[in-house]
Chain A
Amino acid sequence: MIDVKNLHKSFGDNEVLRGIDEHIAKGEKVVVIGPSGSGKSTFLRCLNLLEKPTQGEIWFEEQNITDKKTNVDKVRQKMGMVFQHFNLFPHLTVQQNITLAPINLKLQTKQEADANALRLLERIGLADKANSYPNMLSGGQKQRIAIVRALAMNPDVMLFDEPTSALDPEMVGEVLQLMKELANEGMTMVVVTHEMGFAKEVGTRVLFMDEGVIMEQNTPLQLFENPQSTRLKEFLSKVL
């Protein structure tokens, strides 16, 4: 589904990604872990071209999306993204947040989009918040709404950029729960996170990134129980 070939990314003189080759198959739940500054967020943001790779190719559903001729907006419609800081639109109600893109991109009529939004909100138990503004909600509620906002576009893959890092501890569970449900439904997911429990439980594969490369990868069980590189051993000893 996603093919990354020799991906490099520099910010000025600072080379953040130093050659990444990776294949992500449909239905996989890939969890990316690593110390801060390792390039894991940049890697994720390259996948939907929020960051422009300086070198290398990314293929998504048989299309080279790093090609200049590719319509990036069309590609992004099929890749949902969830941010650390939710990035809900504060001037719109919860329901408008969810329906804005489908309606404006003419993918759904207003009626369809509204019905779809309410169905999604019911699913996460927040139907009564449809007409509230994001400011009135808790962090956990905001992030769950950000997730269903991305789902409203019927994406083929969901990218999560540290979705629980900005949450109060007691709200982490509800967000992870929703992500688990998504995983169980077969959604292809790429998740950058510090939640090792989630990686173990939900991940089909865990990538350990360090200094701009994927240093080690394995099934969660193998990676956590039997780390090979000293860097990974060091990292795990600090976070587990």
Chain B
Amino acid sequence: MTFQEKFVLNFIEDNRWRYLVEGLQNTIIITFFALIVGVVLGFTIALIRVTHDRTGKLKILNGIAKLYLTVIRGTPVLIQLMIMYYVVFAPFAGISKIVTAVMAFGINSGAYVAEIFRSGIMSVDNGQMEAGRSLGLNYNKTMWLIVMPQAIKNILPALGNEFITLLKETSVAGYIAIQDLTKGGDIIRSRTYEPFLPLLAVALIYLSVVLVLQAGVNKLERRLGKSDRR
């Protein structure tokens, strides 16, 4: 078979390219919403941890947060996904598997994002907090207006890294029979018995999405970095 014939067989015949398009759609939906869940969760956990370490308040919440970090970071995401599907969401059969995946990946990513946020907050000199408080701003306002903007600037590269990791980790969603990008490529292979082209296509699509993500992060980094110029 020539390359052209292989290409036609894998992507054109029976409209097989649609497996990839639909798969990509699901991958992006899962990644996008898991990212939101992860950032919100991670941000909250980081605030609890930092507030506890600095003021000694929120003891119980801090304990829960620590347990969450240990369990989530100590077990494989695939196991978490399957527990979410076969155990946690099992009683709710009507709920879309996409929602299950979003929750599993979001909760997983949240643990990593939490530590990234925490390191960012700790990287901001305590004098910034003191300066804000000495002007009469309360703890929350100082955190929000003064500490967070600087923390986020510092952690942007690490956060971008986590988003890329998250996108690629969703490739195990096929284990709970979600037809994501990886699974889409798999289906084509099982129809055509031709592994190379579908896998290559899947790899290239992941790579392109990562490149777009990276470009976005770089742009944001440049914008937030304008105060660094001397």
Contacts and interface: CB of A to CB of B under 8 A. Distances in A.
27 contacts: A48-B134, A50-B130, A50-B133, A50-B134, A73-B138, A76-B135, A76-B136, A77-B136, A79-B134, A85-B127, A87-B125, A88-B131, A89-B128, A89-B131, A89-B146, A90-B227, A91-B227, A104-B141, A104-B145, A105-B137, A133-B227, A133-B228, A133-B229, A135-B228, A149-B135, A150-B135, A153-B136
Contacts of B146: 89, 100
Given A80-B134, A87-B125, A89-B150, 14 more contacts: A73-B136, A81-B130, A81-B131, A85-B125, A87-B127, A87-B128, A88-B131, A89-B146, A91-B149, A92-B227, A100-B146, A101-B136, A101-B137, A133-B226
A89 B146 CA distance: 7
Given A77-B136, A104-B137, A105-B137, A91 B153 contact: yes
Nearest to A136: B230
A150 B136 CA distance: 10
Interface in A4-40: none
Contact of B130 (A83, A133, A150): A83
A104 B141 CA distance: 8
A76 B131 contact: no
Contacts of A104: 137, 141, 145
Interface string A94-107: 00000011001100
A92 to B, nearest CB: 8
Interface residues of A, number: 29
A150 B149 CA distance: 21
Classify the interface of chain A: helix, strand, loop or mixed.
mixed
Interface in B110-146: 125, 127-128, 130-138, 141, 145-146
Interface in B182-219: none
Nearest to A49: B133
Contacts of A105: 136-137
A89 B137 CA distance: 14
Contacts of A48: 134
Interface string A43-78: 000001010000000000000000000000110110
A150 to B, nearest CB: 7
Interface residues of B, number: 24
Contacts of B230: 135-136
Given A90-B150, A90-B227, A73 B127 contact: no
The 7 closest A-B pairs by CB, nearest first: A77-B136, A87-B131, A101-B135, A81-B134, A133-B227, A87-B127, A76-B136
Nearest to B144: A104
B227 A135 contact: yes
Contacts of B141: 104
Given A76-B133, A91-B227, A100 B145 contact: yes
Given A76-B136, A105-B136, A83 B131 contact: yes
B92 to A, nearest CB: 44
Q: Most B CB atoms within 10 A — which of A50, A104, A105, A136? A: A104
A26 to B, nearest CB: 20
Contacts of A85: 125, 127
B177 to A, nearest CB: 46
B135 A135 contact: no
Nearest to B149: A91
Contact of A136 (B131, B132, B133, B229): B229
Given A100-B145, A104-B141, A104-B145, A74 B130 contact: no
A96 B110 CA distance: 33
A145 to B, nearest CB: 12
Contacts of B138: 73
B4 to A, nearest CB: 55
B213 to A, nearest CB: 24
Contacts of B130: 50, 81, 83, 87
